[in-house]
C-alpha cells in the first residue's frame, strides 16, 4: 500500500468510527462528514476544487429541492383530510380502521422525507380512534412503526424519487458506471416486501402486541398547531408537488435535468407563498446532504489512489468469488441488518454503500440489486431503540419494553429478509 492509500484508509476509518461514536463524542454525523470533507481537501489526492464541486453536485441539488417540495405538500391539509376519510370509511371496524390508517401511513412515508414526522403526524389520530373503539393504542403502535420505517421510499415519489440519483452519484464517485439505477428500480425491488409488511401489520402484528395502558392519546401533532393555508395556496401545495413528481418521471423526455425539476419546484413553493423562507430552510436535511458530500469526496479519493479497488478485491475474495447472486444479496442484507439494530440506520447505509459498490466492482457484478438490498436492510430497523429515531417514539406511544420489541419484531424481520433477497436478486441478477 502507498502513503496515499494509508491516508485514504485513515479518512475512511474516521468516517466509520465517527458515525458510530458521534453521539458519545457529543457531536453529529453531519459534523463528522464535514470534517472528513475538509480533511480530504488537504490531502492532495484529489484537487481541492473537485472537493468544492461536490457541494454543487447535481444530486445534492436534487435532494435539497425535493425536501423543500415535500415540505410544501406537508404544509397542506392533505394529512387531516386523508385521516378523516379513513375514519368514516371504517365504520367502527377495528381491522378496517387499522388497515386504512396504515395505507395512509404508507402513502405519507413515501411523500414526507421523515419517518419521524410521519409517525408524529398519524399516531395521535390512530390512538384517538383506538380509544373510541375501546382498543389500547399499544396494539397498533408497533404495526404503524413497522410500516413507517419499513416502507418509506418504496414508491417513486418524495424520497423514493431521489434514491436512484443518490446511488448513481456513488457509482460515479467510485468509477463504476457500467451500471446505473433508474427511477423505478427501487420500486421494483422493494414493492413486494412493502406489500408483505402492510399485510403483516394489519392482520398479524396486532396479535403479537401487548395490551398496555398508554398516554399516546394526549400526543399533539405539530402540524395541527399551524394556521391552515388559504384555498388558493392549498391548491398550489398539491399542484407543485404533483407537477414536480411527474417532472422527475419524464425529465429525460422533457430534456431537463432532475435537479432542475426539483429546484424549480422548490423555488415555486417559495415564490408562490406555499412555504415561508424559514420553513423551507428548516425542511432541508443538511446532515443528509453533508453525508453525501463526504461520501463523494472520500470516495473520490479512494478511487484516485487505488484503495477502493484494493478493498473491493479483498471483500470479493472473502465471498469466495461466488457467482451466486442470492449469496451476494444475502450477505449485503444480513450484515447491515444486524448492525443497524445497534447504530442509526443512515450511518450503516453510508458505511456500506462504498463497500457494496467496490465489492461488486471487483466481482464484476451488477450492484443495483445489492444496493437496493442494503437500503431494505437498513430500513428493517425496529428491534432496538438505537436503530432509528422512530423506534423511541413508537416505544413511548405504545409503552413498549425492549423485550416487547424483540417479541414483536423477529418474525417480520425474517419475512422481510427472505422476500427482499429472493425478489430483488431475481429481478436484478448479479451476473
pLDDT in the model for residue 17: 81
Question: Is residue 290 pLDDT above 90, yes or no?
Answer: no
Name the CA radius of gyration of the chain, rounded.
22
pLDDT in the model for residue 306: 80
Nearest C-alpha neighbor of 364 from the set 307, 414, 318, 325: 325
Which residues are CB-neighbours of 187 under 8 A, at least 6 positions away? 154, 155, 156, 160
pLDDT in the model for residue 300: 79
- HSE-CB at 89 with a 13 A cutoff on CA atoms is 15
pTM for the model: 0.68
**For the chain, percent of residues with pLDDT exceeding 90:** 28
Tens digits of per-residue pLDDT, 170-217?
888 888 888 989 889 999 999 999 999 999 999 999 999 998 776 654
CB 423 within 8 A of CB 192: yes
Torsion angle, CA of 382/385/389/395, rounded to 10 degrees?
A: 80
Q: Using CA atoms, how far apart are residues 64 and 280, in angstroms rounded to an integer?
A: 10
CB 39 within 8 A of CB 14: yes
Tens digits of per-residue pLDDT, 377-426?
998 988 887 677 788 778 878 888 878 888 999 999 999 999 999 999 99
Measured CA angle at 290 (ends 239, 329), to 5 deg: 85
Tens digits of per-residue pLDDT, 217-251?
443 345 456 678 888 999 998 899 888 878 876 77
Tens digits of per-residue pLDDT, 28-40?
878 988 999 999 9
Reading the block at residue 383, the C-alpha cell is 428491534
Reading the block at residue 176, the C-alpha cell is 463504476
CB 37 within 8 A of CB 290: yes
In this prediction, residues 279-287 reach a mean pLDDT of 82
Which residues are CB-neighbours of 172 under 8 A, at least 6 positions away? none
Mean per-residue pLDDT of the chain: 83
Amino acid at each position: 500500500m502507498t502513503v496515499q492509500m494509508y491516508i485514504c484508509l485513515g479518512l475512511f476509518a474516521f468516517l466509520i468510527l465517527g458515525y458510530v461514536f458521534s453521539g458519545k463524542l457529543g457531536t453529529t454525523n453531519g459534523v463528522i462528514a464535514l470534517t472528513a470533507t475538509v480533511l480530504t481537501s488537504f490531502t492532495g489526492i484529489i484537487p481541492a476544487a473537485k472537493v468544492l464541486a461536490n457541494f454543487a453536485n447535481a444530486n445534492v441539488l436534487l435532494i435539497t429541492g425535493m425536501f423543500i417540495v415535500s415540505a410544501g405538500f406537508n404544509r397542506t391539509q392533505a394529512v387531516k383530510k386523508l385521516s378523516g376519510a379513513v375514519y368514516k370509511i371504517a365504520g367502527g371496524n377495528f381491522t378496517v380502521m387499522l388497515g386504512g390508517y396504515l395505507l395512509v401511513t404508507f402513502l405519507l412515508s413515501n411523500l414526507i422525507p421523515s419517518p419521524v414526522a410521519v409517525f408524529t403526524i398519524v399516531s395521535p389520530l390512530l390512538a384517538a380512534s383506538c380509544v373510541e373503539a375501546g382498543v389500547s393504542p399499544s396494539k397498533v403502535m408497533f404495526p404503524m412503526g413497522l410500516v413507517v420505517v419499513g416502507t418509506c421510499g418504496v414508491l417513486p415519489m418524495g424520497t423514493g424519487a431521489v434514491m436512484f440519483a443518490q446511488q448513481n452519484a456513488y457509482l460515479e464517485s467510485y468509477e463504476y458506471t457500467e451500471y446505473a439505477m433508474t427511477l423505478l428500480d427501487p420500486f421494483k425491488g422493494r414493492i413486494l416486501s412493502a406489500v408483505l409488511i402492510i399485510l403483516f401489520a394489519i392482520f398479524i402484528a396486532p396479535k403479537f402486541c401487548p395490551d398496555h395502558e398508554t398516554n399516546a392519546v394526549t400526543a399533539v401533532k405539530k402540524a395541527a398547531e399551524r394556521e391552515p393555508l388559504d384555498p388558493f395556496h392549498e391548491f398550489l401545495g398539491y399542484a407543485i408537488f404533483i407537477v414536480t413528481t411527474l417532472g422527475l418521471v419524464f425529465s429525460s423526455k422533457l430534456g431537463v435535468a432532475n435537479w432542475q425539476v426539483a429546484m424549480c419546484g422548490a423555488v415555486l413553493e417559495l415564490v408562490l407563498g406555499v412555504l415561508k423562507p424559514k420553513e423551507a430552510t428548516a425542511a432541508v436535511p443538511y446532515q443528509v446532504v453533508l453525508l453525501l458530500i463526504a461520501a463523494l469526496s472520500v470516495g473520490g479519493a479512494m478511487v484516485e489512489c487505488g484503495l477502493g479497488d484494493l478493498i473491493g478485491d479483498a471483500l470479493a475474495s472473502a465471498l469466495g468469488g461466488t457467482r451466486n447472486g442470492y449469496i451476494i444479496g444475502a450477505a449485503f442484507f444480513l450484515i447491515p441488518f444486524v448492525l443497524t439494530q445497534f447504530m442509526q440506520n443512515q450511518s450503516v447505509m453510508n458505511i456500506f454503500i462504498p463497500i457494496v459498490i467496490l465489492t461488486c466492482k471487483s466481482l464484476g457484478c451488477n450492484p443495483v440489486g445489492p444496493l437496493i438490498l442494503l437500503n431494505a436492510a437498513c430500513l428493517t430497523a425496529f428491534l432496538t431503540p438505537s436503530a432509528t429515531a422512530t423506534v423511541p417514539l413508537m416505544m413511548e406511544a405504545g409503552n413498549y419494553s425492549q423485550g416487547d420489541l424483540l417479541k414483536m419484531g423477529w418474525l417480520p424481520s425474517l419475512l422481510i429478509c427472505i422476500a427482499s433477497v429472493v425478489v430483488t436478486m431475481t429481478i436484478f441478477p448479479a451476473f
